[in-house]
Structure 1
């Protein structure tokens, strides 16, 4: 199991980060974990702080088109020459020590943050939490969006085992925000042992939904009549709770404006209206179920829903399909350019016969384009890899 093998390596990784003087910062540091919604929470926090006049560093993953997307300072990607300088510095210190790709880029991000005067740093956990590279930092506030079944080969096959791994981003006497009410027992045990202060959805804060707007209600702060966002409402509420547990002054008008206008690359991102084309990187059953609910809201009888789904070996694609089956009219897929993907022959063997399987992503895109009209909806989902390939075919850029 990856996590067991990574235990010793993470210890050495932390020693390397210490040698580079990367473990401490004067900035207030958020760490964001969870099965789904991590990226949404990170992007939302970044926007809120920037619009409130604070200087912000964001480290997130994975990227869609270019690894430089993983690090932003004050909402902007760093210049490539600056990124390459940080890259070279990590390489200099690394010498003969083995680093995973994620560990290496984490150090690159920390170097870039160290060289910039920041008020806030936001770190997105790559995998799990306990042995993730981001967990070497003594963070100030921890967030776990939710716990679902994903990465079972690394984290375990139950919410309890996965929650155990994720809960280790908690810190003594500091807040940890959890975006579900049903909290796994092992997770509670870790949080208590670490003496962290737990904030729990539907206990410490609530979402009240109305037809045209919603309200955030908690014991310390309320915001009423907020427009529904184009992203996960639960993720927004989790981020708000984290904001209100931090020492920063954030005004309601800033929050309401950011929620109203937020668009996040690859998160139910509508890139065309006729036909409506939606990009969504959701890649597990829970994320796909949320996608299904959003599709229902925008579809009507005249529209046909075409789905191009990424099918990877390490994902529960059978339940992903089941969670979309009610809303989809036509199904398409193709082999994806990654070692995690299936071949064309394998896809033919494992998928239901209602799938149209093309030889490659370019071909599936061409076929769907020819078969749809302006009233239809095309949804590209199931994998960062697939969304990335479609973006390259369409010559799209990541707009932040």
Structure 2
């Protein structure tokens, strides 16, 4: 155990960053040992665990809003954060206080003894400690990486969700969708519900559900949705197998496929969800850094953490439906271990001007490298390069007009830096 006792949240975060030599070390033994010492238990809460390459956060957000609109108390754990660590741990939609986090960190520190925990494992145990004390009606846990060996998987869920399966984090999860699907489906449990929102999932997802004896609810088979000109409709099933249909639903700001997945989960958790609560949640559900709309002076600005081709394709599709009167400026900063060419290829049909920002750290991709990748796709592409996100934002300001639109994407680091800069300028 490190010497000295942290006195505030900032000092605690420094402590947990220094607790383990690696950022990632998959495995549950260490976390389970500490959780047993903390006597973590959730006898009064239903637990929903959400894994997936894309869509975890918005699925959690839809569920949180739907449940709270129906009068149920909720707790949410997600990662990473944008501006404040407190964003990761929320009770009934509100971030927990510094004091509550510090108390939970102190409990984990006292329990872990000589066990080295990663930053994510430490934070997960602290969140679970808080949720066990608060005992909300429903606990919504977002997987950090993969599923089977992720720290949140020490908790047995009543409903487990896999939103999508795409190639990402291949060094940790495998280099095929079949391997990655098996890792994500590792959150399934025998005799419980397993919901899959990927319309074309790898066979391994259903195979794991069958091996474990989990009840599978697959989009396109067990639940479905259709987008219409003025809204959308949804069909699904209750846990008892009763068919349910909802028509004329309001279109959400966040991705519609994840709203459909959340509705299936909701009908497995509740006997008869309120139509009014569902409509209210669909209208209210928004997230920081996911199709988030702000203004950059007189120019509309959209921020989204999309960092893989699947997410970039979704954004491009949304933007293509309502193009700006002027040009779309894309401010992009990415990590070197991501599929940069895939993201650029997805965004190329909608982007006209490209502003590339270098990201620091050992994984950061340089702006010049991003521009080179863009010029391979389009030698005539109009590109600017910047040393960091703040300087890229300043550069964008000099080139945009009121009729233009700006998309800021590529990484949580990119969006976080942009949000911090925009917050300072307001």
Same fold (TM over 0.5): yes
3-state SS of paired residue (1:6) = coil
Equivalent residue number for residue 53 of structure 1? 71
**1:338, 1:385 within 8 Å by CA — same for their partners in 2?**
no
Q: Secondary structure at the match of 1:221?
A: strand
Structure 1 range deviating more: 184-193 or 40-49: 184-193
Q: Kindly state the Cα deviation for residue 186 of structure 1 after the two structures are TM-superposed.
A: 2.1
Q: Which position in structure 1 is the counterpart of 2:221?
A: 203
| 1:259 paired residue number | 282
Identify the match of residue 304 of structure 1 among 315, 327, 332.
327
Closer/same/farther in 2, CA of residues 232 and 191 from structure 1, 3 Å limit: same
CA distance in structure 2 between the aligned counterparts of 1:213 and 1:304, rounded to whole angstroms:
28
Pick the aligned partner of 1:342 from 365, 377, 383: 365
Q: CA deviation at 1:361?
A: 1.5
Matched with 2:319 is: 295
Between 1:168-177 and 1:83-92, the stretch displaced more is 83-92
Superposition pairs for residues 69-84 of structure 1, below 5 Å? Answer: 69-84=87-102
Count residues with an aligned counterpart. Answer: 393
**1:51 CA drift (Å):** 1.4
- Are the structure 2 counterparts of residues 234 and 84 from structure 1 closer, same or farther at C-alpha, using a change threshold of 3 Å? same
TM-superposed CA distance for 1:344, in Å, is 5.0
Q: Where in structure 2 are there 5+ consecutive unaligned residues? A: 1-21, 238-242
* Structure-2 residue corresponding to 1:17: 35
Equivalent of 1:365, from 369, 379, 393?
393
| Distance in structure 1 (CA, Å) of the matches to 2:283 and 2:31 | 41
Match of 1:375?
403
Equivalent in 26, 33, 58 of residue 6 of structure 1: 26
CA RMSD of aligned residues (A): 2.0
Large movers: runs of 4+ above 4 Å: 2-5, 344-351
Structure 1, residues 12-69: CA drift from partner, whole Å, max 9, x if none?
Answer: 3212101111144320000001110000011111111111111111001111111111
Moved more, 35-44 or 253-262: 253-262
Partner Cα distance (1:365, 1:108) in 2: 36
- How many angstroms does 1:218 deviate by? 2.5
- Taking the TM superposition and a 5 Å limit, the aligned residue runs for 1:57-206 are 57-206=75-224
Match 1:225 to one of 248, 251, 273: 248
Cα deviation digits, residues 163-219 of structure 1 (max 9, x gap) = 010111111111100012323222222111110000011111111222111101125
Residues 3 and 155 of structure 1 are in contact (CA less than 8 Å); yes or no, is this contact kept in structure 2? no
Tell whether the 8 Å contact from 2:235 to 2:245 is kept in structure 1 after alignment: yes
Deviation at 1:87, TM superposition (A): 1.1
Mark the CA change 1:319 to 1:233 in structure 2 (over 3 Å): closer, same or farther. Answer: same
- What are structure 1's unaligned runs of at least 5 residues? none
Return the match for 1:323 from 346, 355, 372. 346
More displaced, 321-330 or 90-99?
Answer: 90-99
8 Å Cα contact 2:47/2:157 also seen in 1: yes
User: SS of the counterpart of 2:347?
Assistant: coil
TM-score by length of 2: 0.88
For residues 126-166 of structure 1, give each alpha carbon's deviation from its aligned partner in whole angstroms, at most 9, with x where no partner exists: 11111000001111110111111111111111110100101
2:332–2:410 CA contact under 8 A, matched in 1: yes
Aligned to 1:242: 265
SS for the counterpart of 1:386 is helix
- Specify the SS of the correspondent of 1:14: helix
